[in-house]
Structure 1
């Protein structure tokens, strides 16, 4: 047969693969346990450090983020509470003022005095002073503030009362403080008399609570009193140059309420007589049940700004370098000033324009020296708050910065304001970044330390194994007493203890085996005679022996079967064990040798292994003692058991019976006759054969009990009649 090269290649290929696998296995098997342990420690430590680091990073990052959001939310809630409390305090104060008799008397006096000025003369010089005031002061200041060019003609007073009052109380003053402290022009008018009487009252209200102004309006819409005597003094909110503003709406609501306790509040809006956005608090004035006018307090944005900007102490309030709180109205415009605007207007202008705010709006905020009613905040947080929602998010703010924001409605009756608290994510998450850096550095350091420790530990761990290896070699050479010093209390120490125990066990193995042999001998001696044990240990399989002059007793307990039927197996066995133990004790004291016991049968002999001259007497005495034991048991337990025993004397044989389960037994004519004597008697008692009767009739009393047939021959038996107590 011819084999091609391809066939050879196909045959060799599997052998090559198998050889390669075996080669790799040999390489791995040659790697020391120290190297394997080192690699295992390194892998376990590095993976553990990486997993713990990842879990710690994620947990720490989430905890820090939650802490920042909680802090931001608490700041927003605190600002909202202070805002509500501040406005409520002002409302409560306004109710007290408007319900007081002073305000009622003042509205009556100023209204009367204002009406009397309808025909008061105004000189050309006074008229010119009004024109000069509006042209050179009021219009000029407004152009600087807002950039708007106002028409002087539309602003100069036209009514006689308005011109008269402003000529005496407005035009002469360029300083607001001088105007509010001026109580009497001494023109003799009723209005001046009222101002001299009540101006101090309203001046105290304005200065103590930092209001922009306090106005009294009659029921026709005329501003009959102004604390600062501004350009709105004497104007009409329905027909004057400043009509159709928030003040007009608030005034009308106050009149319509017809309730003295009513307090209305307006949102911030532009009011030309004021130099900043203004809100109004209004309340009806008059005696109980009648409204004679309205008290209007001009609420400046500066009070709100001081509250929302934390009096410009952001860092001290826990807002860091970029945190702030501000108010946004329903038109998406700010109702307070931006922190960045207050700190760096140019940076504010640059950032809001980059974020999408129109340049002219940013410029207007610069000109008006504030962002109220100028800066739009059309962010997601604003939209959610306007829908009545509360929460936190991460999004861009009006400056274009990524920020954490907490938003919620301000919950101020009459105002649809929303409070936003925010802080830049870079600052808020700075602790997270620092935590991450520390975690990475600590993890790297830990891995480096673990690498060094792993090399040292690998050597330390292998050292006990090498000592055990040397000890095993000593034992294999036959030195069973070899021991290894125990240097630790860990598993290696336990293994060393086990090794030393093994060496000691090997050394005492022969002693234990010899002891076991001796124990077996003792057990066998308890079951059979010593000469039989010796012959069995030497290997004899058939062991038997004949004995002369041996007395045999076979006894059973009458009534035990009937009693056992009424008892449980445990109770029945307990009775048998109790009687057998007493029988054995009596046999030992009388020199009787027990051969075997059954449930209710007891086979014993005397003179079998230890020759005794009086073996017949001993056996009869033992039978009497057995009967005494049964009687005593009956007396203690109340049962009616009886003893039936047969005794014969003569020649017997003994030996080991069986192979898998050896038993020492006795047999022969004397045994058979003793059994027949016992079983052939219907009545309980001790029965003996003629040989026993002949030996004991001089010392014991017997009565003829009939005959039994053994091996075809009739044998007479006698019953022991003597009872010993």
Structure 2
């Protein structure tokens, strides 16, 4: 082996010892760790995702089940209530009692109301009812508005309503005979206990009987609506009046109408719902029975009688009802458990402070608390489902929603729970999975370290032998004890040492071939300087024209092609460009994947180099047009032309890249994209020298060498 070959090997070996990087042992350790860790992570991730999804699904299923159970319960509650009212209204006692009260009320049509009786009724409203109503509603009312318009109504209220505290409901319910000797009092003594038993047994808020004209001829509590005409103010717009008219117009004793909640004035403006059914025999309707829905029973159903936690709703879950007006129809759990905390959370959730504080004050949010959430909107369109988002109390919640099927009511049911509580098992599971994964990763890391050390011992022996070769000892031999890949590597190493001399001879022959190839890459003058070892090889040239051509659309064409197809088309285009350069007397400098750099007057000085450059650019357009016609493509050209001084030379000595640069090259590059549209663009200098031969249009300006340069486009 020649001395130069040995020196080269030695130099490379020393360089390898000094070069920074990872050892084989380190790389092997990394690979073992990588494969093991990735496998562990993948398996853990699959288990984690499946487990997390299962836990989330379980939480969602639980909330959905609770919603369905509560929906079924409230629907059965109303169905039972509606059926009960229908049956009660057709009961013989109810029919006979209604007849008696209707007749008794009619007998009082022309009764004489004394001044004392009228004064007692007026005083009741002035001193008892209206102050209580105003305190409850925070509104002002005129007491005379509530005094019955009929003599019969005033007469009955003077005996049964006035003279007692308004909120003494038990006293009103117990009144049976005022001793006035009227037929109405006789009917109350006879049939009143039956209707009172309905209130006490079935927990109705009130039972009201009406005649065919809409007069309230009986009230179990003998309240302020006793004896009033519901078609007169302030009851004419009430849902009770609407429901009464609907059942009377139906003409059927089987008709039952249920009303939504409204603020009923005789109940101090409390939310009130009614179930109304006609009373009569056969086809003869004599009046109607209206039962005030027990709101406490609705709240008991929706709150599970206050046993939220025992029924799977945890610490934050609840089920509530919402009407078409987006207001609650049952009480909030937070309100019942902590009114002050409820008010603060509701305000933070977007509820008006006055509404939140009012709900906390009266300890009820029916017809007060708005719920403008996605779940409510979806349920009101008839859809059921599950969603997550911010609830009416401002917390992130998991919500199950559905419409209710209650005759006469357009309500939806919402079951919600704070996301943090609903998905708490998911959080615990995530923590356990992560801790388990960390333990597995630690064990895998220690095992990989041990295996890497055992595996790399033969490699260290080979490294020692390579260093001896680097020092010039070509007689070194590596023991080939093992019969695995390391044994094969040792045999290959021994063959390498024997063949180094032959390879060095081949290298010398290749140098001769490289000299020949060098002259094909650059001019002789540049090649000579390169062989001398010059680091900066440049030549200055004056009066040179530069063409910088760029293909537009080739990248889009290449996206749908394979690598071989792309190279084939590109070679076809470049051959066409080379032929055009040769015909125009232009020298190719270098080609790009999507462009072409050429000059005129660089190697061979030419007086008409500017004209030749412009003609060459125009011939490139012809080449592309022929190519497009043959291949059905749409490639266009964007070329820039300038003239002036340039510098040529060898750029990046290690890669033998011969290039051209200078102001003329830079300006040719810049003018080509002045508009972004295809075309041939030239500088002012080119235009001045060829304007008699070529027609130009002004295309714009560019900044060059501190001044504004006008750019012209070949028309």
TM-score (norm 1): 0.59
Pair 1:421 & 2:412 matched: no
In the TM superposition, residue 448 of structure 1 has moved relative to its aligned partner by: 2.4
Q: Do the aligned residues in 1 keep the contact of 2:86 with 2:277 (CA within 8 Å)?
A: yes
**Aligned-partner Cα distance in 2 for 1:13–1:333:** 92
2:571 corresponds in structure 1 to none
- 1:659-670 correspondence runs (5 A): none
Q: Do the aligned residues in 1 keep the contact of 2:261 with 2:273 (CA within 8 Å)?
A: yes
**Aligned-partner Cα distance in 2 for 1:460–1:222:** 103
- 1:661-680 correspondence runs (5 A): none
1:272 corresponds in structure 2 to 265
In the TM superposition, residue 350 of structure 1 has moved relative to its aligned partner by: 1.6
Q: Do the aligned residues in 1 keep the contact of 2:277 with 2:289 (CA within 8 Å)?
A: yes
Q: Do the aligned residues in 1 keep the contact of 2:343 with 2:357 (CA within 8 Å)?
A: yes
**Aligned-partner Cα distance in 2 for 1:374–1:336:** 10
Pair 1:349 & 2:340 matched: no
For structure 1, which runs of at least 5 residues remain unmatched after alignment? 1-7, 464-494, 496-725
Structure 1, residues 496-547: CA drift from partner, whole Å, max 9, x if none? xxxxxxxxxxxxxxxxxxxxxxxxxxxxxxxxxxxxxxxxxxxxxxxxxxxx
In the TM superposition, residue 40 of structure 1 has moved relative to its aligned partner by: 5.7
2:629 corresponds in structure 1 to none
Q: Do the aligned residues in 2 keep the contact of 1:99 with 1:261 (CA within 8 Å)?
A: no
Out of 276, 294, 298, which is 1:300 matched to? 294
Q: Do the aligned residues in 1 keep the contact of 2:210 with 2:216 (CA within 8 Å)?
A: yes
Out of 364, 369, 376, which is 1:370 matched to? 364
In the TM superposition, residue 21 of structure 1 has moved relative to its aligned partner by: 8.2
Higher RCO by CA contacts (8 Å cutoff, separation 6 or greater):
2
1:235 corresponds in structure 2 to 228
In the TM superposition, residue 457 of structure 1 has moved relative to its aligned partner by: 7.5
Out of 61, 66, 70, which is 1:70 matched to? 61
In the TM superposition, residue 323 of structure 1 has moved relative to its aligned partner by: 0.8
In the TM superposition, residue 460 of structure 1 has moved relative to its aligned partner by: 9.9
Out of 327, 343, 353, which is 1:333 matched to? 327
1:411 corresponds in structure 2 to 405
Structure 1, residues 345-395: CA drift from partner, whole Å, max 9, x if none? 222222222222222222332344311111111111111111111111111
In the TM superposition, residue 49 of structure 1 has moved relative to its aligned partner by: 2.5
Out of 429, 432, 436, which is 1:442 matched to? 436
Secondary structure of residue in 2 paired with 1:118: coil
1:176 corresponds in structure 2 to 169
Change (3 A) 1:308 1:369: same
Secondary structure of residue in 2 paired with 1:144: helix
In the TM superposition, residue 191 of structure 1 has moved relative to its aligned partner by: 0.4
Change (3 A) 1:395 1:39: closer
In the TM superposition, residue 426 of structure 1 has moved relative to its aligned partner by: 1.2
**Aligned-partner Cα distance in 2 for 1:366–1:167:** 36
Pair 1:224 & 2:217 matched: yes
**Aligned-partner Cα distance in 1 for 2:142–2:437:** 74
**Aligned-partner Cα distance in 1 for 2:413–2:231:** 33
1:153 corresponds in structure 2 to 144
In the TM superposition, residue 437 of structure 1 has moved relative to its aligned partner by: 1.3
Pair 1:212 & 2:205 matched: yes
- 1:682-693 correspondence runs (5 A): none
Secondary structure of residue in 2 paired with 1:291: strand
**Aligned-partner Cα distance in 1 for 2:138–2:237:** 22
- Who wins on radius of gyration, i.e. which is larger? 1
2:89 corresponds in structure 1 to 98
Q: Do the aligned residues in 1 keep the contact of 2:149 with 2:228 (CA within 8 Å)?
A: no
In the TM superposition, residue 19 of structure 1 has moved relative to its aligned partner by: 3.2
**Aligned-partner Cα distance in 1 for 2:288–2:224:** 19
Secondary structure of residue in 1 paired with 2:108: helix
1:283 corresponds in structure 2 to 277
For structure 2, which runs of at least 5 residues remain unmatched after alignment? 458-483, 485-715
Q: Do the aligned residues in 2 keep the contact of 1:268 with 1:301 (CA within 8 Å)?
A: no
1:113 corresponds in structure 2 to 104
Secondary structure of residue in 1 paired with 2:265: coil
Secondary structure of residue in 2 paired with 1:404: strand
In the TM superposition, residue 223 of structure 1 has moved relative to its aligned partner by: 0.3
Q: Do the aligned residues in 1 keep the contact of 2:388 with 2:398 (CA within 8 Å)?
A: yes
Q: Do the aligned residues in 2 keep the contact of 1:277 with 1:300 (CA within 8 Å)?
A: no
Change (3 A) 1:460 1:123: farther
Q: Do the aligned residues in 1 keep the contact of 2:56 with 2:423 (CA within 8 Å)?
A: yes
Out of 239, 242, 245, which is 1:249 matched to? 242
- 1:387-398 correspondence runs (5 A): 387-398=381-392
RMSD, matched Cα: 3.3
Out of 71, 86, 92, which is 1:80 matched to? 71
**Aligned-partner Cα distance in 2 for 1:342–1:50:** 47
**Aligned-partner Cα distance in 1 for 2:215–2:103:** 12
Secondary structure of residue in 2 paired with 1:249: helix
Structure 1, residues 480-508: CA drift from partner, whole Å, max 9, x if none? xxxxxxxxxxxxxxx9xxxxxxxxxxxxx
2:307 corresponds in structure 1 to 313
In the TM superposition, residue 83 of structure 1 has moved relative to its aligned partner by: 0.8
Structure 1, residues 249-302: CA drift from partner, whole Å, max 9, x if none? 000011011111111101111111114211110111011111110000011322
Q: Do the aligned residues in 2 keep the contact of 1:144 with 1:367 (CA within 8 Å)?
A: no
Pair 1:51 & 2:42 matched: yes
Q: Do the aligned residues in 2 keep the contact of 1:211 with 1:297 (CA within 8 Å)?
A: yes
Change (3 A) 1:165 1:447: same
In the TM superposition, residue 28 of structure 1 has moved relative to its aligned partner by: 8.9
